[in-house]
Structure 1
Amino acid sequence: MYCREDLKESFPMLLGLLSFFVQTVFFVVVAYFALYVLLELRILFISRRVERCKLTELTEAVQPSLRVGDDYKPSVSVLLPVHNESFVVERLIDAACRLRYPADLLEILVLDDSSDDTSRLARARVEQYAARGVNIRHVCRNDRQGYKAGNLAHGIHQASGEFFAIFDADFVPPPDFLLKTIPYFRDPQLGFLQTGIGYENKNKSFLTRFQAMEMGHQQYVTVGLSEEGDMASLSGSSCVWRKSCVEVLGGWNTSMVTEDVDLGYRAQFGEWKYAYLRDVVSMSLLPESVSAFRVQRERWGRGLIHSGFKHVRQMLHQRMPLMKRLHAISMMFSSVLLASIYVLVLLSLPLNYLVDFDNATMQWVLLAFFGLVAVWGLDNAFGARKGARLDEKPGALRTLWGIYLYIAMFLPMAWYYFAGGIRALLGVHGEFNRTPKGMDERRARMPRINMILLAGELFTFVYSMLAILAAVQKGNYFLIPLNFTVCVGFGMVLFWSWRGIRGNEQAT
């Protein structure tokens, strides 16, 4: 009898503690999101101001110490890391051999880690160009240890250039790429340079348009970050590295699946300068199937979260002004923020039972959250369209509907990043799953993580439906917009998955 009464007395206390915990997590995520939105608005304003300048003015504003000169021609090694890329490897080699630069100062290394027909195709293409006098070699290694990072680490030991220009297998650089980028390295403190990326198949489907906009937004933000000299994230392809910078930093870390971001962080902490040239554009391909997309984003989320936590202590000890530090935190932990949005989705059901929505504080926080989402969605879509160079100008209603679907797609991405973050916490750091693109996606076998992520999508869709029913039952209508948008976003990817199972996975 005593134990039963004791339990009755302690039960309200446990509920109170649980309610306090849930609300605290919710408030922390909203506060972090508010900081992120304000900082992004500031950077987008700077990007817009810079983009209004003429190209010559932009060049001088971003790197005033650099002067383009025809007499500066250091030796360059073009590195082409490939792994089972038979669909695109020949056009990659063709594009690299079209690069205009003094022949005696240029070498091209095809770093081939393939285990399929790619090696035969690459070797034959290399032999064709070598017979014409092009300084090109086909480099293989005995094992695939360290994946792409290990391949690059092996490749630079074979390279003789003072600079490394790197292109992934699905990239096509413009012929004048080196002529427009190498002169910037007259500044001896310039460690690396990133250029713009365009996407050949961006109008293939809604999924490819979303990806082009989402990554175009990142490029547009980088314009402002580079103008301010703030920390930026390197994409790892269509970029140039100074050899001495790579050597001082110890090269690529083979334990990281986002080795490019890791090396870029280390360079910036080492006080090397970087430059960003958005108007020098290499063309690339986007995943067209939702399976390839979700596997790619889980890997990115896992690597970016791992990199953020790995370097946070060094960042906090780095001497920098408060605004630069805030931007560094915002950029390094944007992946954690995205993963935390999925935590809000998981909290939406218990919030209906544990929180008094008649409380004025909770109502104001929810209104602030949805207001921030609206502001973020509008400014993100603006930057995304500018960054992706979308020329289409739809009407007002279609534009708003497109922005809403664009926002909805970030919720499945939040799940992929959340899953990647959990795997990173569990020590799964080095697992690398190649992202097939284009026609190669039709024959590629997806790794096991694809089915796990698909199961999570189905769970989240059903979970959010239950949360909507609970909200209606309780009269708590404040969270319904969130859960409804979750159902829209996850409904899209589930529909595309269903089409994929039926053999028609184009995400229309």
Structure 2
Amino acid sequence: MPNDLYPPLPSEQMEFLRTTTNKPLLALNLLAAAVYFFVLAFWFERGNLVLYLVLMAGEVFHLWQVFGYIHTVWQTNYPIAAEKKCFLPVDVFITVAGEPEDIVENTIRAALCMRYPQFRVFVLNDGKVAKKENWKAIETLATRLGAVCITRTEASGAKAGNINHALKRTSSPLVAVFDADQAPLPDFLEKAVDYFADPKMGFVQTPQYYQNHGLNETTKGSWEQQELFFGPICKGKNRLNAVFMCGTNMVIRRKALEEVGGMSEDNIAEDFLTSLFIHKKGWRSVYIPQILACGLAPEDFLSYHNQQFRWARGSLEVVFRYNPLFSKGLSWGQKIQYLASASYY
């Protein structure tokens, strides 16, 4: 049953998942952006050459972003229904690195309450290697609630290393991953696992919903960003088989992870880069536009800044070290999508 911290969601809070596409308006927007660019480039006097080139570089990037967005949201209601039921065993990973015990307890309890015939809950405790004072308390909490605690003693690879460490100690064909503050709803596995009836399904992603989005201006701004991404953008990526993992509220096929050597430890945005590697191997992905877990947004500007800086740094590393345009195994649609998402920052 739903936990006390996350009551039933009012319908207006799920409005971001109800999307429609006005294609004539999108086409007009692209045309206007192109006309604006050519007017700046060829109509006005150039003046200072250096400043002109800087301006043109910015406008080329602006055109690319407009094109990337329209390419993504051109069709946001692509059919993704699972064809049949699937009941593969699941290892549920909850990644913890010093988060408050009450938040972790809420997530563990929610995970244990999921309706599904075959799953085990593992708390991936990185508190010891991160030198957090409550790492022993997390072990005690997990044992008391009936989850298995896996505590690392050697630090490597941050969150990706934590997940890879647990993969070596578990065996189910599917792995669900939740951050410490992302509590799954009871039907999470029922809804997500059915897609793995497709033997080529590599991973399934669901939205990150911020239950505290109305707390202050920081949480409101953070949620507005998530609404756009987990609304039309992720829904549009379904059409192009270009949905990528977002670090939490996801289920991954173990075989797909094993084929790419586990979660990538070479990049701070391990989920994004690992998704690219999995797609290069020919695996499929899907985004389910339903709220199946409830979490918490950063509540202060410093936390929000650190989150965004981590995502920006990881994304730009992908552009310069693993440029999707030159990645063999990706379709052109996937290349455009990965480059558009990575260059957003």
TM bucket by the smaller chain? 0.7 to 0.9
Q: How does 1:37-48 map to 2 (within 5 A)?
A: 37-47=66-76
Q: Does residue 290 in structure 1 map to residue 305 in structure 2? A: no
Per the normalisation by structure 2, the TM-score is 0.80
Instruction: Report percent identity of matched pairs.
Output: 23
- The counterpart of 1:62, out of the listed 61, 72, 80, is 80
Are residues 208 and 20 of structure 1, via their aligned partners in 2, closer, same or farther at CA, if it must alter by over 3 Å? Answer: same
Aligned to 2:124: 111
Q: How does 1:6-45 map to 2 (within 5 A)?
A: 19-45=48-74
Q: Whole-Å Cα distance in 2 between the matches of residues 274 and 313 of structure 1?
A: 17
Aligned residues of 1:90 and 1:121 also touching (Cα < 8 A): no
Aligned to 1:79: 93
Are residues 233 and 33 of structure 1, via their aligned partners in 2, closer, same or farther at CA, if it must alter by over 3 Å? Answer: farther
Are residues 157 and 40 of structure 1, via their aligned partners in 2, closer, same or farther at CA, if it must alter by over 3 Å? Answer: same
Aligned to 1:128: 144
Are residues 67 and 116 of structure 1, via their aligned partners in 2, closer, same or farther at CA, if it must alter by over 3 Å? Answer: same
Query: What one-letter code is carried by the residue in structure 2 that aligns with 1:228?
Result: L
Query: What one-letter code is carried by the residue in structure 1 that aligns with 2:336?
Result: L
Aligned residues of 2:280 and 2:330 also touching (Cα < 8 A): no
Instruction: State the shift of 1:85 in Å.
Output: 0.8
Which whole-Å deviations, capped at 9, do the CAs of 1:206-254 have from their partners, x for residues lacking one?
221111011221112110111233x233211000000000001101122
Q: Whole-Å Cα distance in 1 between the matches of residues 71 and 220 of structure 2?
A: 25
Quick check: which has more Rg, 1 or 2? 1
Are residues 83 and 156 of structure 1, via their aligned partners in 2, closer, same or farther at CA, if it must alter by over 3 Å? Answer: same
Query: What one-letter code is carried by the residue in structure 2 that aligns with 1:26?
Result: L
For structure 2, the 5+ residue unaligned runs are: 1-45
SS in 1 for 2:322: helix
Q: Whole-Å Cα distance in 2 between the matches of residues 325 and 86 of structure 1?
A: 39
Q: Whole-Å Cα distance in 1 between the matches of residues 295 and 224 of structure 2?
A: 14
Query: What one-letter code is carried by the residue in structure 1 that aligns with 2:84?
Result: V
Which whole-Å deviations, capped at 9, do the CAs of 1:57-95 have from their partners, x for residues lacking one?
x6xx125xx4132xx311110011110012411111111
Aligned residues of 2:106 and 2:183 also touching (Cα < 8 A): yes
Aligned to 1:360: none
Are residues 186 and 205 of structure 1, via their aligned partners in 2, closer, same or farther at CA, if it must alter by over 3 Å? Answer: same
Instruction: State the shift of 1:317 in Å.
Output: 4.2
Instruction: State the shift of 1:318 in Å.
Output: 4.4
Query: What one-letter code is carried by the residue in structure 2 that aligns with 1:62?
Result: I
Query: What one-letter code is carried by the residue in structure 2 that aligns with 1:85?
Result: E
Are residues 309 and 44 of structure 1, via their aligned partners in 2, closer, same or farther at CA, if it must alter by over 3 Å? Answer: same
Q: Does residue 187 in structure 1 map to residue 187 in structure 2? A: no
Instruction: State the shift of 1:324 in Å.
Output: 5.2
Q: Whole-Å Cα distance in 2 between the matches of residues 178 and 319 of structure 1?
A: 29
SS in 1 for 2:259: helix
Q: Whole-Å Cα distance in 2 between the matches of residues 204 and 167 of structure 1?
A: 22
Aligned to 1:10: none
Instruction: State the shift of 1:306 in Å.
Output: 0.7
Instruction: State the shift of 1:313 in Å.
Output: 5.7
Aligned to 1:159: 170
Aligned to 2:314: 303
Q: Whole-Å Cα distance in 1 between the matches of residues 311 and 336 of structure 2?
A: 22
Instruction: State the shift of 1:120 in Å.
Output: 3.3
Aligned residues of 1:164 and 1:242 also touching (Cα < 8 A): yes
Query: What one-letter code is carried by the residue in structure 1 that aligns with 2:73?
Result: L
Aligned to 1:99: 114
Aligned to 2:240: 228
- The counterpart of 1:198, out of the listed 193, 209, 222, is 209
SS in 2 for 1:232: coil
Instruction: State the shift of 1:125 in Å.
Output: 2.5
Aligned residues of 1:166 and 1:236 also touching (Cα < 8 A): yes
Query: What one-letter code is carried by the residue in structure 2 that aligns with 1:21?
Result: V
Are residues 83 and 95 of structure 1, via their aligned partners in 2, closer, same or farther at CA, if it must alter by over 3 Å? Answer: same
Per the normalisation by structure 1, the TM-score is 0.55
Which whole-Å deviations, capped at 9, do the CAs of 1:390-447 have from their partners, x for residues lacking one?
xxxxxxxxxxxxxxxxxxxxxxxxxxxxxxxxxxxxxxxxxxxxxxxxxxxxxxxxxx
Aligned residues of 1:93 and 1:125 also touching (Cα < 8 A): no
Q: Does residue 270 in structure 1 map to residue 299 in structure 2? A: no
For structure 1, the 5+ residue unaligned runs are: 1-16, 51-57, 131-135, 336-508
Query: What one-letter code is carried by the residue in structure 2 that aligns with 1:34?
Result: L
Aligned to 1:9: none
Are residues 111 and 324 of structure 1, via their aligned partners in 2, closer, same or farther at CA, if it must alter by over 3 Å? Answer: closer
Which whole-Å deviations, capped at 9, do the CAs of 1:245-268 have from their partners, x for residues lacking one?
000110112231111111111111
Q: How does 1:420-439 map to 2 (within 5 A)?
A: none
Q: Which has the higher helix share?
A: 1
Aligned residues of 1:95 and 1:174 also touching (Cα < 8 A): yes
Aligned residues of 2:207 and 2:230 also touching (Cα < 8 A): yes
Q: Whole-Å Cα distance in 1 between the matches of residues 271 and 193 of structure 2?
A: 19
User: Pairwise CA RMSD of aligned residues?
Assistant: 2.1
Q: Whole-Å Cα distance in 1 between the matches of residues 249 and 330 of structure 2?
A: 30
Aligned to 1:248: 259
Are residues 74 and 151 of structure 1, via their aligned partners in 2, closer, same or farther at CA, if it must alter by over 3 Å? Answer: same
Q: Whole-Å Cα distance in 2 between the matches of residues 84 and 62 of structure 1?
A: 37
Query: What one-letter code is carried by the residue in structure 2 that aligns with 1:223?
Result: K
SS in 1 for 2:93: strand
SS in 2 for 1:111: strand
Q: Does residue 213 in structure 1 map to residue 224 in structure 2? A: yes
